[in-house]
Amino acid sequence: MQMGATQQRPQGSDAEACLDWLHKNCFKEIIAIERALEERKVALCERHDFTLESAFASFAENSMSRLGANELCQGFERLGVTCDSSDARLIISRFDGDEDMRLSFWEFANLVMPIESTLRDDMERRQRTRDHNLSAETRMLFKTLVR
């Protein structure tokens, strides 16, 4: 994002001024990004071949695994998404409820599930099918969510 003449960054390390600048100049963009992510999560949950287990299986051998930064990077790579260890650590820190720097199945589920409780409930109840491969369309939607 380029700053115009009226969008001067605050000088120094004044935290209050920095927060004020971010609120005035970036808040709408941040909300737009969050809205787009939520819309992608809803669309993904509406795909009948998408399950929490199939999403987690893209990153781990089984649902008992806990994902660290390396596993996240490898899973993203399998999806065709570039991710370095600092990106993976940021994702982990955002969803890691027990702060062990590893994502459990349910912590990972919060990464892909929408806020709406009825959709979350549907996703939690949805069982992985025998043919647990995601369709090309669902895989692409999952990829757009995580990139």
CATH topology of domain 15-146: Recoverin; domain 1 (1.10.238)
* Local confidence band at 13 (pLDDT 50, 70, 90 cut-offs): low
For the stretch 99-137, pLDDT in tens is 999 999 999 999 999 999 999 999 999 887 655 678 889
Q: Three-class SS of residue 25?
A: helix
pLDDT of residue 7: 56
Q: Where are the domains of the chain?
A: 15-146
Residue 27 pLDDT grade (very low, low, confident, very high; cuts 50, 70, 90): confident
Q: What is the pLDDT of residues 38-83, one digit of tens each?
A: 999 999 999 988 999 888 988 997 778 899 999 999 999 988 999 9
- Global pTM reads 0.77
Nearest Cα to Cα of residue 124 among 139, 107, 109: 109
pLDDT band at 85 (very low <50, low <70, confident <90, very high): very high
